Each structure stands twice: as C-alpha cells, then as structure tokens.
Amino acid sequence: MPTKGRLHKGRLLRVAALAALFSGSAAQAADPLSIDVHRDANCGCCKKWVAHLEANGFKVIDHVESNMTAVKQRLGVVPRLAACHTAVIDGKFVEGHVPAAQIVALSKRSDLLGIAVPGMPAGSPGMEVGGKQQAYQVIGLSKTGVDQVVAEYPATNL
C-alpha cells in the first residue's frame, strides 16, 4: 500500500496549508490570541504585563500560583532565563516582561521551546518606572537547549 499512503499524505498537507491560511486571517479578525499566565498573587508588575497583553489583543487566562519555581521547572524555563511570571502559548513558554510583538513572532518559531526577558529590566512592558529605559534582550531557548537573541530593546537596526 505505499502508493495509497503517499496520496493520503499529500492530501493531508494540502488541507493543513489551507487550514493555516484560514487560521491566519481569523486571528487578525476576531479570535484573540489566547495565552495562559502563571503568576504569584502579590506580583504587581505581573498584572501590569497582563494589561499590556490585553491592550495588544491577547485573551489572558490568569493563574495565581503558590509555587512559581515549580511552575517554571514544569514548563522548561531554565533558571538563567527566569523572571517573575511565566506564560504559555501554543505549548511554548513566555518568561518575564516580553513585549507582545515578540509573542506574536514566536508563533512562527517551531525551533524554540520558548522566549524570555530574564530579570526585570526597567522600561520593558509592565516595568515602566518613571520613563527609565534599560537596554534588554529577548532570548529564545532552542529545542537543543541553546540561547539565542531574538530581539533587542530599545529597538535597534538588528
């Protein structure tokens, strides 16, 4: 049955391509991007980051956690990339104060386990403190465990 198998696969690929086309336009129109956010109850900057996501069209599912260290371990956030809150979208982690635009860009990166803004840099979304702006990077963690810079802020010509 090898011939039959091949035909079937080709048809599946076409259906997948069509589905991708349709879901792309649907996300633009009505369907907000849904993201799970895990945070500590007393985290103020986490709530401000959630507000940043909502302002950018995300639908946030809020989870108040008692043990964020355990959550990060479960979701594959390595300690060197850790910040405060940990979000999950489409099976990938989003750690710390990542700008919404980078979460949208993450959907095209099947090579990454997730992205992070380590620490709590001033001037990142949710970390606005009197107009202070620290330079920071958005780091992607590859499936092979390698860090790579996916974006730099404030935006340069990278």
Binding to Cu ion (CB under 5 A) within 8-37 occurs at: none
Report whether 127 contacts 121 (CB < 8 A): yes
Closest separation in Å from C-beta 54 to Cu ion: 16
Tokens 């946030």 locate to 60
Considering the complex, state which of residue 76 and residue 119 has its C-beta at the smaller distance from Cu ion.
119
Report whether 138 contacts 92 (CB < 8 A): no
Closest separation in Å from C-beta 97 to Cu ion: 6
Tokens 């009505």 locate to 30
The one among 35, 37, 38, 45 contacting Cu ion by CB under 5 A? 45
Considering the complex, state which of residue 39 and residue 92 has its C-beta at the smaller distance from Cu ion.
39
> What gap in Å lies between CA 107 and CA 101, rounded to an integer?
11
Instruction: Candidates 16-24, 43-51, 64-72, 86-94: pick the segment binding Cu ion (CB under 5 A).
Output: 43-51
The one among 37, 84, 106, 115 contacting Cu ion by CB under 5 A? 84
> What gap in Å lies between CA 155 and CA 158, rounded to an integer?
8
> What gap in Å lies between CA 119 and CA 108, rounded to an integer?
25
Considering the complex, state which of residue 84 and residue 113 has its C-beta at the smaller distance from Cu ion.
84
Phi/psi of residue 69, nearest 5 degrees: -60, -45
By CB under 5 A, tell whether 120 contacts Cu ion: yes
The residues that touch Cu ion, with contacts defined as CB under 5 A, are 45, 84, 120
